[in-house]
Amino acid sequence: MPGKLKVKIVAGRHLPVMDRASDLTDAFVEVKFGNTTFKTDVYLKSLNPQWNSEWFKFEVDDEDLQDEPLQITVLDHDTYSANDAIGKVYIDIDPLLYSEAATVISGWFPIYDTIHGIRGEINVVVKVDLFNDLNRFRQSSCGVKFFCTTSIPKCYRAVIIHGFVEELVVNEDPEYQWIDRIRTPRASNEARQRLISLMSGELQRKIGLKVLEMRGNAVVGYLQCFDLEGESGLVVRAIGTACTLDKLSSPAAFLPACNSPSKEMKEIPFNEDPNPNTHSSGPSTPLKNQTYSFSPSKSYSRQSSSSDTDLSLTPKTAPYPQGPRIYLCPSSPSLSCGSLHLKKSCLLLSESSLTPHHSSLVSPVLRKSVSFSEELFLAASGMGSGSAGKEGGPFKALLRQQTQSALEQREFPFFTLTAFPPGFLVHVGGVVSARSVKLLDRIHNPDEPETRDAWWAEIRQEIKSHAKALGCHAVVGYSESTSICEEVCILSASGTAAVLNPRFLQDGTVEGCLEQRLEENLSTRCGFCHIPYDELNMPFPAHLTYCYNCRKQKVPDVLFTTIDLPTDATVIGKGCLIQARLCRLKKKAQAEANATAISNLLPFMEYEVHTQLMNKLKLKGMNALFGLRIQITVGENMLMGLASATGVYLAALPTPGGIQIAGKTPNDGSYEQHISHMQKKINDTIAKNKELYEINPPEISEEIIGSPIPEPRQRSRLLRSQSESSDEVTELDLSHGKKDAFVLEIDDTDAMEDVHSLLTDVPPPSGFYSCNTEIMPGINNWTSEIQMFTSVRVIRLSSLNLTNQALNKNFNDLCENLLKSLYFKLRSMIPCCLCHVNFTVSLPEDELIQVTVTAVAITFDKNQALQTTKTSVEKSLQRASTDNEELLQFPLELCSDSLPSHPFPPVKEHLESASSNSGIPAAQRATSVDYSSFADRCSSWIELIKLKAQTIRRGSIKTTVTVEKASPVGDGNFRNRSAPPCANSTVGVVKMTPLSFIPGAKITKYLGIINMFFIRETTSLREEGGVSGFLHAFIAEVFAMVRAHVAALGGNAVVSYIMKQCVFMENPNKNQAQCLINVSGDAVVFVRESDLEVVSSQQPTTNCQSSCTEGEVTT
């Protein structure tokens, strides 16, 4: 698909004065794409020139269209000397290459100069005409959609979730080239900006190619990062999850994790298929079986063969011929090979579904076809699962092995998604992470970035094996990061080991069919916290109990994950942000010695971070962490660890035990007293936190439960005394697993310090909540006010006799003060919640610590919150019952039942769910850590906790239910309901949020990815207000440029916004500073639902029944 790029330069405004004599400017514009440059006329003597140029046309390959940015340079004409540059605008034209995103880029762009910042604005119109070209050997991947959002985007439906895609490209950093010695800082900065822009274009194109190979049409959870390796080069790498997405054709379709209860779609439903040879075309509706049309008959035969296989596996209960959706019309040459594998795998599947690693073709050359076959295989095995639930246990185990082996054949069964369609997650194992310390060397041949590839492959392999050790075949919520200091680089990867429902890898959402829902509801609802591993052969010592919801399966006592809280998990009370912060001094060293020192320190840091997290979690009275992100940063003379997560109380997991303090010298009376004083303080804090976060699980006596209680092992331990000597030292296992309670031993000042630091964390002021996940567990009544912000702090440590303790304290204070400042600044928004709080630590220099925070404050309705508070217990019970009811009603289509107050709760279930909240009161449980260290690289660890999922009926789910109910009956009515959006209220305003949604609004269109990289430099730092003034202005400018690009695409918001890098360097003595910022996000169009909002806000919490009824009443 070559294309014609057309650019028109309309006008400029607010240009800077370039000619001191006249106080005016003679501006003209150069428009450059690839190697072609056009110029406008010079518009004499004006600060607001009107060029109104002709259309400049560039005829280019689509490969270039994807790689190159459009470069617009505004200059001041000078007759006698060289023309002075005023500034530049880089426009990524990628959004114009999808058929459905933006069709034109038109608007005012800030003119940016790396030395002076924004200098006026320019109005530009850009269009692209693409010609269809069926060249199969193309290098471009136009049409593949990219999303930063780590869930299935709101107005799409996942047909297939293919899996992990990754790519990296390397280059020399222009800043370190010899030529940099003789060129101006501006030229150097511009070279860098341009190079990175080119590299990310190339990277995106290459990822797109991989997606096309996998027969996908989109990348979700796309995360692109830069490693500034200094002398050794510049690495741009990206990971993502390849999917086949369908635009939702009906407003009644399923929208995962959307928090608003109403669903009107403004757009005319259509199903466009940008990639002609992927899958079916034609409108897709929830009743998809009828509407899917398969075009070429050739492929149909193939597909029928596979569905035959399916049928042989699938018992008659599967009433819909929906299997073969993915195998549609493969018409590219590569297909023949793919289909071979398909047959092979299907065959294998039907013959012996337990064959592990049956396809041993994992050679690089064949990667493509292999991945294809895997996917098919998976899909085939997925068919089995739909009915498997009915067959009961043994079959299920078999199934699990099937899926597992299928997933294992993927090179990396990773998913960068953090939120999933309900039912997708079967079990969650725990966090898996791996780190590796590497010495950087110059990348000799940029075209063969093999070392970097190998490094990452190694780490991913490790992650994969960890997941396997946890009995999981997949890793979700997967992410990768680096920390570089001089020539040492720490590579980190982490994710959550999980068992997935294979059906979803083949078939995304709604069409999951009723059977499946039933199955899920009955068995897998609380299933995601059930342990995926074999309890007799546990990968690490953990304390298992029976699930507090279903009482049938085992759950761990705590659960750590990197994903968002599943929408169907039952949570008691509210969540809160939990951070572990840690510093470790390290000797300055060179190269190898340095790397070794770091490697040696890492295990201790990991361990301590984990301990801190565990302590703080218990202090909050909670039992699970979501969105865990551990960042280890390396500096010249220290290592910093910062872990952030959102703690919650999962109803399926046991009540966390308290924290016991034990002294080592029991004979000293005053010491004892001190200890007991501390103990009291800790107990008080726990009690206070429980109140604060409204954690009050109903206490129901154990008899009612009538199900097995903890294993004898654990029970016996209950009787043992709490103070235990350090006998566990004999084992190399560093877990706390052998202790009854979480015992803190105060045997030296360090430990004292730890206890103190535990207690110093102050809770946010009343009216504030914070979390680092997408939505705050326990709050569902969001109002529409949002404020995204970035805050940066740098502190200078006094270099004198730094100790670990002093360092820890400084770091802790830094973070705490930063949070306090945020609470103060945003006080006018109370009651509000800081969501997606994202801390990043860097160590720019010896004694400097830099912390960058990006988050969004969202207001919510306090009255309803209060109401929730008052009745939270009853609510949870009621919730449970209505849920159960819903489960029943659903398949039976009793949804027209309009008597919400008079449900028919299945008594047994009701009792059970009620009792499930009880549990062994204050059960003494231990934390478990498995800890393994590796010789040459650092370490990795796995951890878990537990949880339960009866059913949560928070806003998001409420939506789901409403919609689902409406779909069979009131599809048409629903559309009638859509109210005219109040568009004028949002004119010109571009909202930015790190979340994937906008409260009180509905995203109607994704316009493309925003991925921007800026450098700003100054040689007049003092004049620009010092470092703070400089960076403040720069960040404001970055926001402005992001907003301008979104507005030019026709959007009014950026979702999933993230500031991936903010590298700040200063040299106050020279009055200089430089900063690099990299941001990304998804440009979207949203429509307010203000009138529907009223309805939803009047409907208090989450009684699903009432919301269903409401839906029907309104329709």
Partner 1 sequence: MTSELDIFVGNTTLIDEDVYRLWLDGYSVTDAVALRVRSGILEQTGATAAVLQSDTMDHYRTFHMLERLLHAPPKLLHQLIFQIPPSRQALLIERYYAFDEAFVWEVLGKKLSKGTKKDLDDISTKTGITLKSCRRQFDNFKRVFKVVEEMRGSLVDNIQQHFLLSDRLARDYAAIVFFANNRFETGKKKLQYLSFGDFAFCAELMIQNGTLGAVDSQMDDMDMDLDKEFLQDMKELKVLAADKDLLDLHKSLVCTALLGKLGVFSEMEANFKNLSRGLVNVAAKLTHNKDVRDLFVDLVEKFVEPCRSDHWPLSDVRFFLNQYSASVHSLDGFRHQALWDRYMGTLRGCLLRLYHD
Distance CA 401, CA 415 (A): 19
Q: Does 814 bind partner 1 (CB under 8 A)?
A: yes
Q: Does 992 bind partner 1 (CB under 8 A)?
A: yes
Cβ proximity to partner 1: between 186 and 1032 the closer is: 1032
Q: Which two tokens stand for residue 831?
A: 């009651």
Q: Which range of residues in 276-284, 747-755, 974-982, 1020-1028 is near partner 1 by CB under 8 A?
A: 1020-1028
- List CB contacts of 703: < 8 A, sequence separation 6 or more: none
Q: Which range of residues in 408-416, 611-619, 960-968, 988-996 is near partner 1 by CB under 8 A?
A: 988-996
Q: Does 1039 bind partner 1 (CB under 8 A)?
A: yes
The binder of partner 1 chosen from 180, 608, 724, 813 (CB under 8 A): 813
- List CB contacts of 471: < 8 A, sequence separation 6 or more: 429, 497, 499, 531, 532, 533, 534, 539
| CB 876, CB 917: distance < 8 Å | yes
Q: Does 728 bind partner 1 (CB under 8 A)?
A: no
The binder of partner 1 chosen from 81, 726, 730, 798 (CB under 8 A): 798
Cβ proximity to partner 1: between 243 and 1046 the closer is: 1046
User: DSSP class of residue 708?
Assistant: -
Q: What is the closest distance, in whole angstroms, from the C-beta atom of residue 193 to partner 1 in the complex?
A: 19
Q: Does 793 bind partner 1 (CB under 8 A)?
A: yes
Give phi and psi for 778, each to the nearest 5. 95, -5
Q: Which range of residues in 80-88, 327-335, 419-427, 1034-1042 is near partner 1 by CB under 8 A?
A: 1034-1042
The binder of partner 1 chosen from 28, 108, 147, 415 (CB under 8 A): 108
Q: Does 783 bind partner 1 (CB under 8 A)?
A: no
Q: Does 1028 bind partner 1 (CB under 8 A)?
A: yes
Which residue bears the tokens 């070392």?
A: 451
Q: What is the closest distance, in whole angstroms, from the C-beta atom of residue 184 to partner 1 in the complex?
A: 25
The binder of partner 1 chosen from 283, 446, 905, 1029 (CB under 8 A): 1029
Angle between helices 804-825 and 749-760 (to 10 degrees): 0
DSSP 825-862: HTGGG-SEEEEEEEEEEE--STTEEEEEEEEEEEEE-H
Distance CA 1100, CA 1102 (A): 7
Q: Which range of residues in 299-307, 458-466, 806-814, 995-1003 is near partner 1 by CB under 8 A?
A: 806-814
Site for partner 1 in 669-708 (CB under 8 A): none
| CB 417, CB 150: distance < 8 Å | yes
Q: Does 1032 bind partner 1 (CB under 8 A)?
A: yes
Q: What is the closest distance, in whole angstroms, from the C-beta atom of residue 1106 to partner 1 in the complex?
A: 35
The binder of partner 1 chosen from 371, 599, 790, 872 (CB under 8 A): 790
Q: Which range of residues in 38-46, 281-289, 770-778, 808-816 is near partner 1 by CB under 8 A?
A: 808-816
Q: Does 805 bind partner 1 (CB under 8 A)?
A: no
Start-end of H helices in 409-524: 450-469, 502-506, 513-519
Q: What is the closest distance, in whole angstroms, from the C-beta atom of residue 776 to partner 1 in the complex?
A: 20
Q: Does 637 bind partner 1 (CB under 8 A)?
A: no
Cβ proximity to partner 1: between 48 and 271 the closer is: 48
Q: What is the closest distance, in whole angstroms, from the C-beta atom of residue 76 to partner 1 in the complex?
A: 20
> Could you tell me which of 65, 73, 189 has the C-alpha nearest to residue 122?
73
| β strands within 549-682, DSSP E | 554-556, 559-560, 571-585, 624-634, 638-650, 659-663
Q: Which range of residues in 63-71, 572-580, 606-614, 1040-1048 is near partner 1 by CB under 8 A?
A: 1040-1048
| CB 60, CB 33: distance < 8 Å | yes
The residue type found at 835 is C
What is each CA distance from 1033 to 111, 612, 753, in whole angstroms?
A: 15, 37, 39
The binder of partner 1 chosen from 1, 10, 11, 14 (CB under 8 A): 14
Cβ proximity to partner 1: between 522 and 1033 the closer is: 1033
Q: Does 991 bind partner 1 (CB under 8 A)?
A: yes
Q: Which range of residues in 159-167, 399-407, 698-706, 807-815 is near partner 1 by CB under 8 A?
A: 807-815
The region that residue 120 occupies, defined by phi over 0 for left and psi between -120 and 50 for alpha, beta otherwise, is left
Distance CA 360, CA 380 (A): 19
Site for partner 1 in 567-626 (CB under 8 A): none
Q: What is the closest distance, in whole angstroms, from the C-beta atom of residue 82 to partner 1 in the complex?
A: 28
Cβ proximity to partner 1: between 161 and 822 the closer is: 822
> Could you tell me which of 162, 954, 971, 970 has the C-alpha nearest to residue 508?
162
Cβ proximity to partner 1: between 63 and 774 the closer is: 774
Q: What is the closest distance, in whole angstroms, from the C-beta atom of residue 625 to partner 1 in the complex?
A: 27
| β-bridge mates for residue 1009, sequence order | 1082
Q: Does 296 bind partner 1 (CB under 8 A)?
A: no
| CB 49, CB 123: distance < 8 Å | no
Site for partner 1 in 129-188 (CB under 8 A): none
Q: What is the closest distance, in whole angstroms, from the C-beta atom of residue 1044 to partner 1 in the complex?
A: 5
Q: Which range of residues in 57-65, 439-447, 869-877, 1024-1032 is near partner 1 by CB under 8 A?
A: 1024-1032
For the chain, give the number of residues: 1115
Q: Does 763 bind partner 1 (CB under 8 A)?
A: no
Q: Does 994 bind partner 1 (CB under 8 A)?
A: no
Angle between helices 749-760 and 591-619 (to 10 degrees): 60
Distance CA 800, CA 806 (A): 11
Q: Which range of residues in 344-352, 720-728, 1036-1044, 1090-1098 is near partner 1 by CB under 8 A?
A: 1036-1044
CA torsion sign, 533 to 536 to 538 to 541?
positive
Q: What is the closest distance, in whole angstroms, from the C-beta atom of residue 183 to partner 1 in the complex?
A: 28
The binder of partner 1 chosen from 583, 1035, 1076, 1083 (CB under 8 A): 1035
Tabulate helix, strand, coil % of the chain (nearest 5): 35, 30, 35
The binder of partner 1 chosen from 38, 604, 789, 890 (CB under 8 A): 789
Distance CA 212, CA 141 (A): 7
The binder of partner 1 chosen from 311, 979, 1040, 1063 (CB under 8 A): 1040
By CB under 8 A, the count of residues binding partner 1 is: 51
Q: Does 105 bind partner 1 (CB under 8 A)?
A: no
Which residue bears the tokens 């500073």?
A: 1073
The binder of partner 1 chosen from 16, 110, 143, 449 (CB under 8 A): 110
| CB 945, CB 559: distance < 8 Å | yes
Site for partner 1 in 817-876 (CB under 8 A): 817, 820-825, 827, 848, 850
Q: How many CB atoms lie within 10 A of CB 574?
A: 24
The binder of partner 1 chosen from 315, 321, 392, 765 (CB under 8 A): 765
Cβ proximity to partner 1: between 121 and 310 the closer is: 121
Task: Count Cβ atoms within 10 A of the Cβ of residue 1053 and give its class: 0-12 exposed, 13-18 middle, 19 or more buried.
Answer: buried
- List CB contacts of 1012: < 8 A, sequence separation 6 or more: 90, 92, 1038, 1041, 1042, 1045, 1078, 1079, 1080
Cβ proximity to partner 1: between 1003 and 1027 the closer is: 1027
Which residue bears the tokens 């190697």?
A: 35
- List CB contacts of 303: < 8 A, sequence separation 6 or more: 294, 324, 327, 328
Task: Count Cβ atoms within 10 A of the Cβ of residue 594 and give its class: 0-12 exposed, 13-18 middle, 19 or more buried.
Answer: buried
The binding site for partner 1 (CB under 8 A) comprises 13-14, 108, 110, 118, 121, 765, 787-798, 810, 813-814, 817, 820-825, 827, 848, 850, 989-992, 1025, 1027-1029, 1031-1033, 1035-1037, 1039-1040, 1043-1044, 1064
